[in-house]
């Protein structure tokens, strides 16, 4: 998910605008959140609320404290569809609504598709205690980076498996990967670790920006593909192939003004939950 700062600001403003206080607790009305999370039909959104309600109950949280009927006085229950719902002034069936606390809204958002910008934003918006757009943006960037990191791990696992099948042992794979890093960064792995302040055996990718993670993934995927397609065998031929692929990736980055070795490392964003203020603002 790549989102402009303006789009994030608009989303932040939308969620903030429909936030209100109910008995001193932050709350949102489901009818307000429904279009913001991409739902068009109430029944579909109600199903998501029901799943969230069940999740809340299954984690030893009292759902009656987090899901309220529209009157704000009685607990909402998924099996009591129109209990205590005000009559529809237009006539016909009354319009159901649910008041959701931050925790409830978070659980509802977690039932959505995180590939959709608004849903991904909502998941972080309701998960964090902060009212700062800047910190929410940091959380989103970190989430995207961690997703990329997981996908890189999967790609590298396939990469190593194919290399084993084509006659390269563990030490040889290490040397091939090292040559790939040196080509991509213009520096060997240890030099980059020192530059980024990485201690111990932690891999570079754990601290790399998302664009670098994607670059490493592309280089490994290209090598895996060509080793299989061209039936390359042995460390020398496969290593040369990996170098060529990483050269191609590096040239592409440089052509767009991105120099991997000049980018700062990324540190995982963590909310400060130690302060009394942070604890008091956590989703209830």
With pLDDT > 70 as the criterion, what percentage of the chain qualifies?
82
185-214 confidence digits (pLDDT tens): 999 999 999 999 998 888 999 999 999 999
Q: What is the pLDDT of residue 25?
A: 86
Q: What is the pLDDT of residue 253?
A: 97
97-121 confidence digits (pLDDT tens): 999 998 899 999 998 887 788 888 8
Under the banding of pLDDT at 50, 70 and 90, the label for residue 134 is: low
DSSP letter (8 states) at residue 260: G
Is the pLDDT score of 275 beyond 50? no
With pLDDT > 90 as the criterion, what percentage of the chain qualifies?
51
Spatial separation of the C-alpha atoms in residues 259 and 279, rounded to whole Å: 40
C-alpha distance from residue 88 to each of 6, 64, 203, 207 (Å): 37, 24, 60, 55
Is the pLDDT score of 272 beyond 50? no
What is the four-CA torsion angle of 26, 27, 33, 34, rounded to 10 degrees? 150
Spatial separation of the C-alpha atoms in residues 196 and 198, rounded to whole Å: 6
Residue labelled with tokens 């960037």:
141
Spatial separation of the C-alpha atoms in residues 184 and 257, rounded to whole Å: 14
Q: What is the pLDDT of residue 52?
A: 93
Under the banding of pLDDT at 50, 70 and 90, the label for residue 6 is: confident
Mean pLDDT of 24-52: 91
Q: What is the pLDDT of residue 231?
A: 96
Average of per-residue pLDDT values in the chain: 84
Residues in the chain: 284
Is the pLDDT score of 279 beyond 90? no
Residue 38 tokens read as 């991409």
Under the banding of pLDDT at 50, 70 and 90, the label for residue 282 is: very low
Choose among 210, 31, 61: nearest CA to 138: 210
Yes or no: say if 47 and 53 are a contact pair by the CB < 8 Å rule: no
Is the pLDDT score of 132 beyond 70? no
Spatial separation of the C-alpha atoms in residues 152 and 54, rounded to whole Å: 34
The distance from CA 139 to its chain's CA centroid, rounded to whole angstroms, is 8
What is the four-CA torsion angle of 203, 150, 152, 206, rounded to 10 degrees? -20
Under the banding of pLDDT at 50, 70 and 90, the label for residue 167 is: very high
Spatial separation of the C-alpha atoms in residues 54 and 77, rounded to whole Å: 10
Three-state secondary structure along 181-226?
A: HHHHHCCCHHHHHHHHCCCCCCCHHHCCCHHHHHHHHHHHHHHHHH
Lowest mean per-residue pLDDT among 55-59, 135-139, 206-210, 238-242: 135-139
DSSP letter (8 states) at residue 131: -
């Amino acid at each position: 998910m790549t989102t402009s700062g303006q789009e994030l600001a608009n989303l932040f403003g939308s969620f903030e605008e429909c936030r209100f206080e109910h008995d001193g607790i932050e709350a949102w009305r489901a009818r307000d959140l429904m279009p913001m999370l991409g739902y068009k039909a109430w029944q579909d959104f109600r199903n998501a609320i029901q799943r969230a309600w069940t999740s809340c109950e299954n984690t030893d949280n009292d759902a009656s404290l987090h899901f309220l009927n529209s009157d704000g006085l009685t607990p909402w229950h998924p099996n009591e569809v129109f209990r205590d719902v005000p009559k529809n002034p237009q006539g016909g069936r009354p319009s159901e609504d649910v008041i959701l606390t931050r925790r409830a809204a978070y659980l509802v958002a977690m039932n959505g598709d995180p590939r959709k910008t608004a849903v991904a934003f909502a998941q972080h918006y309701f998960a964090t205690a902060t009212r700062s757009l800047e910190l929410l943006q940091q959380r989103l960037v970190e989430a995207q980076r961690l997703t990329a990191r997981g996908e890189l791990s999967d790609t590298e696992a396939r990469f190593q498996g194919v290399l084993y099948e084509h006659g390269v042992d563990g030490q040889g794979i290490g040397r091939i990967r090292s040559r790939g890093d040196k080509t991509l960064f213009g520096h060997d792995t240890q030099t980059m670790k020192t530059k980024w302040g990485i201690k111990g055996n932690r891999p570079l990718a754990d601290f790399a920006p998302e664009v670098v993670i994607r670059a490493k993934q592309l280089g490994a995927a290209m090598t895996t593909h060509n080793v299989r397609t061209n039936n390359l065998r042995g460390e020398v031929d496969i290593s040369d192939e990996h170098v060529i692929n990483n050269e191609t990736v590096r040239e592409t980055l440089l052509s767009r003004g991105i120099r991997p070795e000049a980018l700062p490392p990324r540190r995982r964003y963590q909310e400060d939950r130690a302060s009394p203020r942070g604890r008091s603002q956590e989703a209830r």
